[in-house]
Amino acid sequence: MDEFGLIDHYFTRPSRRPEVVLGVGDDAALLALPGADRHLVVTTDTLIEGVHFALGAPGYDVGYKALAVNVSDLAAMGARPLAFLLNLSLPAIDRAWLAGFREGLFTLADAVALDLVGGDTVRGPLSVTITALGTVPPGGALRRSGARAGDRVYVSGFLGEAALGFFTRSGRLALPPELHAPVLARLDRPLPRIQEGQALAGIASAAIDISDGLVADLGHILKASGVGAEIDLRRLPLSSAYDAAFATVGYDPALVFGDDYELCFTVPPERVPALAGITPRFSCGFHYLGDIVAGHELVLRDGQDVYAPARSGYNHFDG
Ligand SMILES: [Mg+2]
């Protein structure tokens, strides 16, 4: 049983409350509060030392990334950030580490206008759980389930740079030294696409953030929407750092590693001009990868050949 099967089997139930517009199974839940003119968007993520970040990772990077992964889920819903809760489990009070953690946390919180409004602090193994809240107009959220055959598939920014950062830090990849800092920054301090997500609301038919890799996360859109897709790998947006590593690593880090926190989304053909209209506002760019098709398969093409990556993405409890 994998992570998603576990959630389906044990924790997915029919909603009992009319206020629950969208429950378990998307990037965030949607709640309609009586009398409010916007829906509440709620998401949570846990980062554990030794699992999601290395033993001894700097406090700044842990604080920043713990919030970034949650903000990225708000972005994938097209939400406007509101507030967050912080649950921190610490083995001891390490003042220098906590000062860095605080700085990383609030640097991103300030950048996206999120207020810390509560939480809990306990003694235990180092782990960080953040619950982030945002808002959307009723009916305005981006979901995973809206893709239809004929829609185009896009991704923001570059893919695979976080993977290159991971391989560089672990000594498995020897990039030129001047490329180390950019790829490590992409791994440690991803830029959640919060403005982009809000601009895509009303244009995209479905969206998800890329936490587990394009193959896995686009796969979630396909499953939720009941469709397939054909992707042209030669359209993958790869940075100059990735180009420098391509002969060594091939396509897979851009397809199955994850941690990019870019947005993958689909756009109906009639809304492609609207997408072109907002694109100049965002330096990350929106890159066309291929098309949604009938069926349920994700087909990756490298020219005339069908390509199969080594594994389909990060998944706790797999294997
Ligand atoms: Mg997500």
- pLDDT one-digit tens code per residue, 161-185: 999 999 999 899 999 999 999 999 9
Query: What's residue 312's pLDDT?
Result: 56
Sequential DSSP letters for 84-126: EEEEEEESS--HHHHHHHHHHHHHHHHHHT-EEEEEEEEESSS
Residue 317: pLDDT above 70? no
Residue 314 has pLDDT above 80, yes or no: no
The pLDDT value recorded for residue 217 is 97
Ligand 1 centroid distance, CA of 71 (Å): 9
Q: Which helix (H) or strand (E) holds 22?
A: strand 20-22
* Cα 161 to averaged position of ligand 1 atoms, centre (Å): 18
Distance 176 CA to ligand 1 centre (A): 32
Q: How far is ligand 1, taken at its centre, from the CA of residue 283, in Å?
A: 22
- Helix (H) / strand (E) containing 37: none
- Among residues 206, 177, 214, the alpha carbon closest in space to that of 307 is found at 214
Q: If you average pLDDT over every residue of the chain, what do you get?
A: 94
What distance in angstroms lies between residue 261's CA and the mean position of ligand 1's atoms? 8
How many A from CA of 96 to the centre of ligand 1? 31
* C-beta separation of 67 from 108 below 8 A: yes
pLDDT value of position 116: 96
- Residue 180 buriedness (CB in 10 A; 0-12 / 13-18 / 19+): middle
The SS3 call for residue 151 is coil
pLDDT of 12 reads 86
Choose among 34, 36, 13, 33: nearest CA to 25. 13
d(CA 266, CA 282): 17
Identify which of 72, 54, 32 has the alpha carbon closest to the alpha carbon of residue 126.
Answer: 54
Distance 73 CA to ligand 1 centre (A): 5
**Which class for 181: exposed (0-12), middle (13-18), buried (19 or more C-beta within 10 A)?**
exposed
Region 43-49: mean pLDDT is 96
Ligand 1 mean position to 208 CA, how many Å? 6
DSSP state of 79: P
Q: What is the pLDDT of residue 313?
A: 57
Question: What are the E-state strand segments in 199-297?
Answer: 206-209, 228-232, 263-267, 286-293
Q: Give 92 Cα–ligand 1 centroid separation in angstroms.
A: 31
Question: Where do you find CATH 3.30.1330.10 in the chain?
Answer: 3-136
Cα(13) to centroid of ligand 1, in Å? 20
Ligand 1 centroid to residue 169 C-alpha, Å: 25
How far is C-alpha 10 from the geometric centre of its chain's CA atoms?
Answer: 24
Reported CATH class of domain 152-307: alpha beta
pLDDT (mean) for 206-215: 96
Give the lowest-confidence range in 133-142, 166-175, 191-200: 166-175
Q: How far does the centroid of ligand 1 lie from the alpha carbon of residue 72, in Å?
A: 7
pLDDT of res. 306: 95
Helix (H) or strand (E) holding 188: helix 180-188
In percent, the amount of the chain with pLDDT more than 90 equals 85
Which residue spans of the chain are classified as CATH 3.90.650.10?
Answer: 152-307
Query: Residue 83 belongs to what H/E stretch?
Result: strand 80-90
pLDDT of 3 > 90? The answer is no
**Whose CA is closest to 148, among 56, 250, 229, 263?**
229
pLDDT digits (tens, 9 = 90+) for 92-126: 999 999 999 999 999 999 999 999 999 999 999 99
Sheet-wide strand order for 263-267: 206-209, 263-267, 152-156, 286-293, 228-232, 298-302, 305-307
**Would you state the pLDDT for residue 2?**
85
> Phi and psi for 110 in degrees, rounded to 5?
-65, -40
What is the mean pLDDT of the segment spanning 149-157? 98
Q: How does residue 319 score in pLDDT terms, banded at 50, 70 and 90?
A: very low
- Quick one: pLDDT at residue 318? 53
Between the CA of 167 and the centroid of ligand 1 the distance, in Å, is: 23
Length of the chain: 319
d(CA 204, CA 28): 17
CATH of the domain spanning 3-136, picked from 1.10.10.60, 3.30.70.100, 3.40.50.10260, 3.30.1330.10:
3.30.1330.10
